[in-house]
Every structure is written in structure tokens, then in C-alpha cells.
Amino acid sequence: MKTVPPPCPEPETGPQYWRSLEQLAETPAFQEWLEREFPDGASEWTDPVSRRHFVRIMSASFLLMGVGLTTGCRRPEEKILPFTKQPPGYTHGVPQYFATAMPLRGSATPLLVKSYDGRPVKLEGNPEHPLNRRPDGPAHGGTDAITQASILNLYDPDRAQRFTYKGENVAREKALDALAAAGKAALAGQGRGLAWLSGRSSSPSQLRLLEELRQRFPQARGYVYEPVDFDIHRQAATLTFGESVKPRYHLEKARRILALDCDFIGSENDAWHLIGGFARGRRLESPSDPLNRLYVVEPVMSLTGTNADHRLRLPASQVFPFLAAMFAEFMDLARAADTTPGAADFAAGLKERARSLSAEARKWASACLKDLAAHPGEVVVLAGHRQPLAVHVLANAMNFYLQGAGRTVSWIAAPEPPAGTIQELAAALDAGEIETLVILGGNPVYDAPADLDWAATQRKAKTIFRLGYHEDETAAVCDWHLPEAHYLESWGDARTLDGTLVPVQPLIEPLFGGLTALEVLARLGGLPAVKPYEIVRETFRHIAGADAFDEKWKRFLHDGHLPDSAAKTVTPQDVNWSAAAPAVLAGPALPAPGPQALEVVFLRDAKVDDGRFNNNGWLQELPDPITKLTWDNALLVSPATARALGVYRVRDHYIGNAISLKTRMPVVKIELAGRSIEAPVWVQPGMADHVLGLTLGYGRLRTGRVGKGAGYNAYALRTAAAPYIAAGAKAAAAGRDYELATTQNHWAMKGRPIIREANLAEYEKNRRFARAMDMPEPKLGARPIYPNPLEEAARTAPHQWAMSIDLGQCVGCAACVIACQSENNIPIVGKEQVGRNREMHWMRLDRYYLGPEEHPQVVQQPMLCQHCEAAPCENVCPVNATVHDQEGLNVMVYNRCVGTRYCSNNCPYKVRRFNFFDYNRRPLDQLYRSPLTSFNDGEWELKRWFKNPDRGSRPQDEWDLLKLARNPDVTVRMRGVMEKCTFCVQRLEQAKIAQKVRAGASGDTTVKEGAVKTACQQACPAEAITFGNLKDPHSAVSRARAHERTYMVLDYLATKPRVTYLARVRNPNPEMPDYHETPLSTREYLDHGGMLHGHGPEPHGESAAAHAEQKGGH
Amino acid sequence: MSDVFPKWTNKLPTFVLVAAAAAGTAVVAGSWYYFTPKYTRVGYQPLQPVSFSHHIHVEQLGMDCRYCHDGVEKSYHSNIPSSTLCMNCHNQVLKDDPRLALVRESAGTGKPVPWVWIHKTPDYVFFNHAVHVNRGISCVHCHGQINLMDEVQHAKPLSMAFCLECHRQPEAFIRPPGQVFNLNWQPESPTKQLADGARLVREWKVEKLENCSACHR
């Protein structure tokens, strides 16, 4: 039968073809058209036909055409719109990479950003940066969770998009003119009445501009305020040594680390770099390799505490007495009193300050000191940003006297221009001295100390200009609001922690015409150069010199750093005791907290920071690394304190019964210095007693659709005098409950060897302890009759992918979780759905507590699809949507999946995530809405769907930006489809394709080692994840898999996973009072009848095929 | 009892069953024939805004495919050329021809020429051009004799079965790398194609990719 395709709708251009059938038959145009549209059918018309026959056929086809015109023929006509002018060097479909940096407070994280079609989609660390170079291996640029999630802020629909004056839209020019006019007006009075408030910044351009402004406006005043400020490190080091320096730590060289309320893995500055150094000190090929030892003293369980070999829980106010006692003993050990005048008095003063320390803590301090003193040059003492200056000074002194200078710590030059504090600004405002206030970023109305009453105080300025990223609480109390550009849209510069200059390069034009701080300052000062690009270039000229400028500038942008621009290392001769000693002994000793006078510790949140990422959906949904809470913050209390308050709710979680993840917790009212807030309680094992841990950054009054209603506002209790540690709080149950959503409600392993660990001493004696903990596999009976097709495939395929995760190096920072979410278009589901265990993270971190709840040991494990060779999920799919490919991946085919969920049922690791609702296309508060009856925005849902099925029902502004954030290489999954980790199959395919394209007419098709990295592997700052080709016996993953510490999780189920773990090795000190001979998880395992010695099954080194050959198909 | 039902209702169940079977078969057969890509896609030849003839440019003028579709060797996407690329020649050749008015206007104003999209795979298929053209698969295998077309027509079904034909037997289609863009090249004989193809598959380690993750991610 001749296939006559139905005619297609007429194109936009082209003549109208017919007015009547007769004309149609006779016009040559019709003949021509016929010839073209129906190439095969055209011949039919050359045969003579009768008019009747003609009419019959034509009417039929016109009917079809009529039908076709209304419903569309084959498929709707779609257009391709190419460039009119191809940008040079750009090929559509090939991503471009640009080096930039994420500035955060006084530092920056060097980044390499992947850009598709002129928009950034994924952030990675920049391996070219000197901080990321490795002496013993390939460079690795790690990042952290907050950095990975910062790209979503760029596409935040709630960001400031307009220029406003007193809340009303104004034109951009008008706002900029007003800014320039304010500057000009201030010029007349030499800047009297002009003030600016900014956050900490390492940007040399900003410093240069501020200096120019200071010269132009000698009477103007600059203030700096950061709610969570890390500048104390610099202040203390400067005071200690009498020179403007700040410490820079080389944790990879440290064998003994003492962290005093210093969560350097989680909430200190540049955690990504410190994690890298710390993890390198935990790398163990064999027991004889050097292994570091971490001592942690802290009030609240932090990530650093979970990685500690010894942990002392101590209220934050008691850390100074602790260090005082230790330092005094150190002085005694070193017989300082004999040699240094005034030392004896100082030691006596310290001992006086240490009065409130408990005997247990004293013993701990003493044993710890002995260990530290035995390793001079390999020790580092870290003090956290919450601790007062005295602690930092003593820590710096200890580092100096323990000969850490130039080894575990270097003091680098860090000049800091003078700036006032927010208290001084408040005083100036109260005195009516400020006419024009320019606020650059920040959110002081939300996070300024509560005793300043900042909202009212700020309003005392006559004119307020505010450059802000969101129209938030501060925007409500200002006159002119200027939208800020995201760092991915801005030209700027910054310095990383070592002082190296890095560019902040835009990946995209400002989406909403935002400004950078540089531009605002330049316009305020009436400077000739207002474009940030020119400003940054000018600064670069000052720093790098003017000769060969363009070449150096291009290289600067290409590499992402300026070589040899690190800050100079200063070698202090001695501690400047004349200034340091009085600083240490200044101020009264804070008493230990008690049941009636609780201590409040204000914590920087691991996810939303100080509140700046409050509207970031990925971070809100990221389970807190310790509490696993999402979408809320809670009041952290120790079990004993909870009991004392009467809010200890037995939830069975600690014993190990998983119950509903929607946890109802009692709400507690906290009173501090006349202010009070209410917060839900969270019982935190391992916390110090009589301490209340409050996390900052939640309870925002004016935030976007994501952050609305999340958590309580801890800033309401925070005063300028006690910003981190406050004493004298009272707490009482408020008589109501609050529902919290947590992703992990079972906290016990119940003796199963899921996470395996041993002390170093045990590892030395029993090298294969990890494999000894395997449970025997079930006897599989007779050999299978049919050969396994995968074995044949494994022989011929060029790659066999596998992954190895070193639990000794993984610190639990969750950078991998967010990196995976960013790379694979994983949606967020909202608090209510998280409460039903429907969070979509493909990679999760399981956290278990072992031992008594007052001072437990904590272990973390990243869990992802194990890509089992004998996958339980593959057998049970009724539609064959999950299959095994020839390279060992367990592949998920979304378009085949019908949503039976049998695969998730069968998965023993529970790593499969199901899209219960249309999380991508529906707003999260309308997931349950029926499409048949709902009416939204003046339109019936069905009608809206009919017009455009792909559109979804999110508001247009959200939808437009959401699309930009997606990675085009990965399918965006719909409701009813299962998904799980794919080993970043899109990256594997890209790598294989790139290798084949390079190979061309040759057989060099194997991807080279290190050419492809999964998203989690690339983001991990600890380099804990190894991924590669098992067929290559020299690849890192092959070696890791053959390692003696390697084991498989749930090995006895014989799933033969491609993901293996390396058991953790703890390094406790036998002299310490809290020494455990075996780690508590191993203790629990042994108590449940486990064995540490005995059968040693075959190593995992061989590939599946070879293994099967050996065992005869077993 | 009197007759409740008339006599003809005796035949009704058989009739219904037969009719249902016939209807079902018709629906299945109809879908099988009319709704598969082989019918719905092959022959699609929409009217383009500019009547560009591949025959003139490739056969008569001898232009290489890659002059215009330069991304095909580097990227998954084989790009339609930009208007300024057309103007490289057409600012001199046929300078004022009315058929090229749209191209001139586009190159001048920056408004792209709205070409009608012909070859499209569903969104859940991730096809990569670069790996195919660099490894011996010619344009003609999927796009037909496009060098002889005056107006581009969808020549092959581009269904999954079509792709698997080659993926299961690459030696039947693979050609020497120099001939990939020579759309008129024919193997000397089918047996020679299979023999040479098998050799190339062996030398180049061409995989017979049938696993889902090769195209569906």
C-alpha cells in the first residue's frame, strides 16, 4: 500500500495555497506543492482521474488535513534555532570549565565550574590551586557541602531581582544615581555622617576601594560585622606574637591534634582544606604507616568529635580552665618557672583560673598533655571560633612551644585594616551621627546582637542603601535596596587561606542585573572605574605588576590563582608575653554551669551557616551530619539535662527500634538575660551536661518560599557581650510538642558488622580483622546450569567499574551528598515528605552511636547503591527496568519503570529512592493535589496540563530558574519512577565517548585511570572515595579492593557489591582515662557473638569473572 | 415458558466474541503498522523557511558535511550552521537572491532562522554524534542519502530497533574512517563489507553495545 503521509500544517512563511478545490486542481502551485510534500504520492496525480474520484479522494485527505491541523499530524512542528553568529571556540553540547572562587568571609574556596550553554551547572574544586596540589599523588580539589549547594542560590527565585526605594520598584539608573548623589553629598563634609557596614572579605579589590574611600572621605567610618566571625584567629595570633599574623594549619603533618571546641571538620573556616590535611594523616596502607591521633574537647557533639580518638565533653566555658590547667602543667613540665621571670606568677594565675575544672577533666588533660609533649614538632592545638581570646592565645603559645612553627602550623602575614564593630556603629547611630549608611550584604536586622535592638537602631540613619541578595529583614528597614549579584555572576577577587590571590570570575551575566560590592563602593566614592572587571584588573596590576600584564591576567583567569602570591610566612621569635599574659588572665573565670544556670552555646549551623543559606532547598533538606534533622533546628541537650528538665522522651531510637521518622519532641522555653525563645528539644548523646546548644540561621522572619517556617531564631537570645557562649540561662518545658523531620531514627547497629573498626594495636596484631568479621555466606547448593552472561561481558568489556570508600578518611561532612544532588538533578521533597522517609538523596550518611549515651563513640558511613553483581533488585523488576550492564553497573532505565517498587523492597541496603510525587514540577506544598479538580492561578489544572504537559505547576519565576539549575546530561525523573546512584553513568559515558573519539581509528578505548571521577569522589575533601576500573590491576580501586582492610557491607547476603569499604582504624592512647581496648562498635559486635579471628575468606581483589572461574561458577 | 429472548440473540455471544477479536486484531495490527516510527517518521519532509538544497551544496559544489555541521565530530549535537556561516559564501554568491532573504535578514538582525526540526529522538534517549562519526559510522546510515536530497526528508525510522540493528552487528555498517563523510561510498560487496567490518571491529575494539545505559541514562 502506498504510504501517503498526512499533510503537515503550513509553515509560517510561504504562499497561501488554495481558495477552492477547482483552483487547487488546476494551479501549478498546487502541483509543485504536491510534488514536494508527497514525493512518493505525487505520481498518483499524473494518472488521469475522473472529477468524481478526485473529489472523493481530495475531500478525504482534506478531512485528514483538517483533522491534522487541529490535533497536529505526526508530531507538533518544532523549530531548531541555531546561532546567527557562532561564538568562537564554542561547541554546543561540550561543557566549558572556568576557574573562579567562592568568597566566604575572610577566605575563599577555589573552584572549577562546569558551564553548559553559558550557564553554570556544577561546582568542583580547582585542582590547579596550590592548596590542592598533592606531593604524593594527583591534585584533588575538594569542596564542602555549603560550597556545592551555593550554586542553587544563583537560581533562587526568591533572590532580590529589582531595585527598590522604600519597597517600591525603581529604575536601576535612579538607584545608582541616588548612590552617586549620596557620595557626592558626603564629599562636601569630607564624609562626615557617611558609614558603611560590610562583612569580612579577603578581596584585595574591596580593600583597595575601601582605602580609596577612606582617603576621599576621611571622616567616614567603616564597620565590619559577621555574626559568626573567624577573625579571632588573627586577633589572637597577632596579640600572641606582636606581629600581624594569622595561623595556617598543616594538619597533614600533625601526628597529634588537640581540638578545643574547634569543629575544624564542620564549622570552622576553610573546613574543606583542614579535612583534607586531617584525612591525609589517617591514610593507612599498613599498620606501620603514621596515623594521627585526635583529641577533642567540646560541649556539643560535632563532626570533629565523631572523628576523635579521645573526646572529653566539657561545657564551653570550661574549655579555658581546661587549657589553663594544661598549660600550667606544660610550664611545669618544661620548668619554665626556672628560666623565665614572671612565669611562676603566670602559672599560678592559670592554676587559679582552672579551679572549676573537674578531677576527671584534669586527669584527661594531664594524660593528653603527656602525649602532646612527647611529639614536639608534630603537634597542633586548635581553638575554635567560639572560644574567648584567652584560649586562642594559649593555643598559639602551645603550638609555638611544641615546636609546631613551620611544621604543623605556620603564621602568615595578615594585615587587617581598621574597622569598627557593630556595637560602635549602634552607638554612632544612637548618637545621630550617621546620615548615610551603606550596608554591603549581610543581614544585620536578623543577626545583629539582640541587645542592640538593631531594627530600630538602623532606622536612625537618615538614608540607608543596602546591597542585598534577598529582600529580607534588613531590606525592610532600608531606603534603597540594590540587588546583589551572586559570586557566579560577579567579577571580583579574593584570597584563599594561604593568601594566594584567586579570581572570582562570572560564569553568566547577572540574571537580574545585580551589583557587586565593588561596584557599589566605586559608585559611592565617585571613582572613575565602576565596572568590577576594571576594578579587579586594576588591583591585579598593583599586585602582579604591569609588565606582561595581559599574559599574566589571562593565565590568572585560566589557572584560577596567581602563582607565588601566598602570604609570607613569619617566624616568630617568641611569644609576646608582655601582651599575651595579661590578655589570658584578664576577665573573671566563668563558673561551670549548673541546673539553674545553664550555659548556652550558639553554633554555626552545618547547613544554613549563619542564616545566609536559609532559603537554599538542598541545604535545608540535607540531614544535619550529627542529628540528621532536616528543615528545622533544635535545641540540643544532653540526656541528663533532658531528664532534669523533664523532657527526656524515650523514643527507643537509641536502643534500635526504628519508629516514625516524624518525631514529636517537647518544646522548651529558654530564658537568658531577660529574653526568651521557645525551641523543640533534641536529646544529643555525648553532649556536656547543663549546656544548651542553639543553632543559628533559622527562624527567619522574612525569607523565601523554602526557608519559611523553618526552625526557631536563636539570634533573639544572642547579645554582643556573649555572642557564642552565654551563662545563666534557664529552661523549662513549654507544654507543647513540635514535629521534627529526621532521616535516620535508628541509631544502633545492634552488633552487625556494618561499620568495622579496630584500634591500631589490634590492627597490628590482626591484619585481616575486617574480613574476619564477615559472616558466613549461605550455601548456594548446586551450581547454576546456565552460564552467567555477565561473566562473558566482564571478559570483553574494557572497563569494570568499582568504588572503594575508606572509612578511616571519611569524616562525615556530607559534601558528597550535595555534590550528588547537584550532578544528578535530585529534587527536594519538603519536610512533610522527609517525615515519611521519602527524601531523595542517592547518597546518604548513616551515623551510629555506640556505647553509653553520655559519652558514646560515633561512626559514620556513606551509603549508596552498591551496584551488586548479584543484585537483588534486578531479579524482581517485572518490566526489566533495572538491568546490569556489561561494565558492572546496575543500570536504572527510567522510561521503562512503572513504579512497582519491588526493587526497593528487595534492596538490603535501602538505597533506592522512589519519586512518590512529582517533586520537580509541583510546588512542595501541593503534592497531594488532585490534577482533576484543582484550580490554580485562575486556571484549571487539566487545562494547563493540556496546553503544555511538560510545564508543571510551579510558579513561572521558580520554573524558569529551576530549569537552569538542571544538569542536561541527566534525565529529570517524574513521579512513579525509581532512581538510585548510577555511579554517575553520564560521566562514565562522557569519558568513554571522549576516549573513543580520541582513539578514532584505533583500539585505545580504555578510559585512563583518573580520567573520570564520580561527583561524590570529586567533591570529597578527604579523598575518601576511590573509583575506577577493576580490570586495570594497577588502578587505585583495584589496589584498594585487594587491601586487607577491605570489606563489603552485608557480605553474608552474597550480593557481591562493587562498592567496598576500608575499615576504620582508631588510634587511642592507652594512658588516657577513657581508653577503650576495642572500639565500642567492635565491642558490641563481639558481645553479639562475633569473631575477630578465624576464617579468612578470599580476598576481593579478583574481578567477578576470574572469581567465578576459580570457584567453578559458585 | 415463552421466549423471553428472540432467536437471533443466540448468535449474539459468538458474534460479539468474533467482532471483539477482529477489532482487537485490527487495533493491534493498525498500531503495529501505523504508529511505529517506520510509518510515522519516514517520509517526514516539512517545508523549511529557506529552501536549502543539500544536493546543490554537497553534490554539485562538493562541500564537506563538517563545513556547516562542525560540531558533529566534537559533541553529541550536530549543529545547524549559523546564518553568518551561510553568508560566508552568500554575501557574494546569489547576493540578492530572494530565496536567501531570510538568511540575510537573520545574519543582519541576529534573529535566528527558524528551521523545522526533522530528526529528533525522544528526551530519554541520549545520542552522541561524535562517537559515531569518529568510529566509522557514516551520516548516510541514519540520515539516508541526504547529499542527494533537495529538501531534507526523514529517511530512516530512528527507532530503537533501528539503532539495535547496527549495535548488534556493527561490522555490517562500519566503514573506513576516511569514507564516513563520503555519502556516496558503497562497499564492494556485502561479503567484503562484513569482512572489512569485522576486521575494523576487532582492531578498533568496537563494542556491541546493547546495554540500556549506553543510550538511556
Digit-coded pLDDT (tens) for A230-255: 999 999 999 999 999 999 999 999 99
CB contact under 8 A, A8 and B47: yes
ipTM: 0.93
CB contact under 8 A, A93 and B135: no
Has residue A653 got a pLDDT over 50? Answer: no
Q: Which of B46, B204, B217 sits opposite A1003 (nearest CB)?
A: B204
B107–chain A Cβ distance below 8 A for any pair: yes
- Which amino acid type is present at position A117? D
What digits encode the pLDDT tens for the residues B115-158? 999 999 998 999 999 999 999 999 999 999 999 999 999 999 99
Q: Of the ranges A883-887, A1057-1061, A1091-1095, which is most confident? A: A1057-1061
Question: Does residue A1022 sit at the B interface (CB-CB below 8 Å)?
Answer: no
Residue A803 to chain B, least CA–CA distance (Å): 18
Which residues of chain A make contact with B40, given a CB cutoff of 8 A? 74-75
Average pLDDT, whole number, for chain A?
89
Exposure of B217 by Cβ count < 10 A (0-12 exposed, 13-18 middle, 19+ buried)?
buried
A811 to each of A857, A882, A1093, how far by Cα in Å? Answer: 14, 32, 28
In a 3-state reduction of DSSP, which class is residue A120? strand
pLDDT at A1098 over 50: no
Within 8 A of B213 by CB-CB distance, chain A residues are: 885, 889, 891, 982, 985, 989
Q: What is the pLDDT of residues A780-806, one digit of tens each?
A: 666 667 777 777 777 889 999 999 999
Chain B nearest C-alpha distance from A82 (Å): 6
Contact A84 B107 (CB under 8 A): yes
Query: Which of residues A652 and A409 earns the better pLDDT score?
Result: A409
Contact A79 B48 (CB under 8 A): no
Q: Do A248 and A274 touch, CB atoms closer than 8 A? A: no
Burial code (b: 16+ CB inside 10 Å, e: under 16) for A314-323 equals bbbbbbbbbb
Partner residue opposite A84 with nearest CB, options B84, B120, B204: B84
Distance from CA of A963 to the nearest CA of B (A): 15
Residues 295-334, chain A: which have Cβ within 8 Å of B? Answer: none
Q: Which of B209, B206, B131 is nearest to B165 (CA)?
A: B209
pTM: predicted TM-score of the whole model, two decimal places: 0.91
* pLDDT value for B35: 87
Q: What is the pLDDT of residue A651?
A: 57
Residue A1109 — very low, low, confident or very high, per pLDDT cuts 50/70/90? very low
Instruction: Report which secondary-structure segment, H or E, holds A636.
Output: strand A635-637
pLDDT exceeds cutoff 70 at A172: yes
Write the burial class of residue B126 (CB in 10 Å: 0-12 exposed, 13-18 middle, 19+ buried): buried
Q: Which residue has the higher pLDDT, A259 or A922?
A: A259
Please check the confidence at residue B201 and state whether its pLDDT lies above 50. Answer: yes
Round to whole Å and give the CA distance between A965 and A44: 53
Residues in A closer than 8 angstroms to B211, CB to CB, are 883-887, 891
Distance CA(A118)–CA(A1036), nearest Å, equals: 35
Residue A58 has pLDDT above 70, yes or no: no
Of A74, A83, A1000, the CB nearest to B41: A74
Tell me the Cα Rg of chain B. 25
Per-residue DSSP letters for A28-67?
HHHHHHHHHH-TTTGGGGGS---HHHHHHHHHHHHHHHHH
Best-predicted range by mean pLDDT among A77-91, A162-176, A940-954?
A162-176
Task: Report residue A417's pLDDT band, with 50, 70 and 90 as the boundaries.
Answer: confident
Rounded Cα–Cα distance for residues A45 and A103 (Å): 72
Whether A23 shows a pLDDT value over 50: the answer reads: no
- As given in the structure block, the three cell numbers for residue A876 are 524482581
Q: Do B80 and A82 touch (CB under 8 A)?
A: yes
CA distance A7 to chain B (A): 9
Percent of the residues in chain B that have a pLDDT greater than 90, as a whole number? 88
Q: What is the mean pLDDT of residues A883-910?
A: 94
- For residue A892, the surrounding DSSP H or E stretch is strand A890-892
Over residues A412-424, the mean pLDDT reads: 92
DSSP state of A420: B
Contact list in B for residue A895 (CB cut-off 8 A) is 122, 124, 216
Q: What is the mean pLDDT of residues A510-522?
A: 96
Residue A583 in contact with residue A393, Cβ under 8 Å?
A: yes
pLDDT of residue A68: 44
Higher pLDDT, residue A584 or A660 = A584
> Which tens digit of pLDDT belongs to each residue from A987-1010?
999 999 999 999 999 999 999 999
- Buried b / exposed e over B184-198, threshold 16 CB at 10 Å, is eeebeeeeebeebbb
Chain A residue at shortest CA distance from B104: A84
Distance from CA of A120 to the nearest CA of B (A): 18
Per-residue DSSP letter, B151: S
Give residue A657's pLDDT. 39
Mean pLDDT for the stretch of residues A186-214: 95
How far apart are alpha carbons A532 and A515 in whole angstroms? 9
Contact B43/A5, CB-based, under 8 Å? yes
What is the C-alpha separation between B111 and A629, in angstroms, rounded?
51
Residue found under cell 569494570? A800
Contact state of A39 with B43 under an 8 Å Cβ cutoff: yes
- List, for residues A264-292, the tens digit of each pLDDT value: 999 999 999 999 999 999 999 999 999 99
CB A741 within 8 A of CB A662: yes
Q: What pLDDT does residue A751 have?
A: 84
Mean pLDDT of A538-554: 96
A334-358 average pLDDT score? 88
Whether residue A121 contacts residue A824, with contact meaning beta carbons closer than 8 Å, is answered with no
> C-alpha cell of A1088?
553479639
Question: Considering only alpha carbons, which residue of chain A is nearest residue B150?
Answer: A36
Contact A1031, A795 (CB under 8 A): no
User: Measured between beta carbons, which residues in chain A are less than 8 angstroms from residue B82?
Assistant: 82-86
Residue keyed to cell 548488534: B168
Q: Please report the pLDDT score of residue B216 as a whole number.
A: 92
Q: What is the mean pLDDT of residues A935-963?
A: 86
Return d(Cα A1112, Cα A158) in angstroms, integer.
Answer: 61
Report CA dihedral (A548, A553, A555, A560) to the nearest 10 degrees: 150
Cβ contact, residue pair A78, B204, below 8 Å: no
Which of chain A's residues have a Cβ under 8 Å away from the Cβ of B47? 8, 10-11, 14, 36-37
- Over residues A370-402, the pLDDT tens digits come to 999 999 999 999 999 999 999 999 999 999 999
Least confident of A55-69, A822-836, B87-101, B124-138: A55-69
Q: Is the pLDDT of residue A1097 over 70?
A: no
The answer, yes or no, to whether residue A5 has pLDDT greater than 90, is no
Would you say B113 and A82 are in contact if contact means Cβ atoms under 8 Å apart? yes
Q: Report the C-alpha gap between A844 and A857 in whole angstroms.
A: 20
Q: Which residues of A touch B204 (CB under 8 A)?
A: 999, 1001-1003, 1005
Higher pLDDT, A595 or A589: A595
pLDDT of residue A12: 41
Backbone angles phi, psi at A569, to 5 degrees: -80, 135
- How far, in Å, CA of A600 to CA of A694, rounded? 7
pLDDT digits (tens, 9 = 90+) for A62-78: 555 544 443 445 678 89
Q: Which residues of B touch A981 (CB under 8 A)?
A: none
- Report the percentage of chain A scoring pLDDT > 90: 78
Q: How confident is the model at residue B2 (pLDDT cuts 50, 70, 90)?
A: confident
Asked if A1069 contacts A1075 with a C-beta cutoff of 8 angstroms, the reply is: yes
Residues of chain B in contact with residue A82, where contact means CB-CB under 8 angstroms, are 79-83, 112-113, 115
Distance from C-alpha of B156 to C-alpha of A354, rounded to nearest angstrom: 85
* Interchain pair A14, B47: CB under 8 A: yes
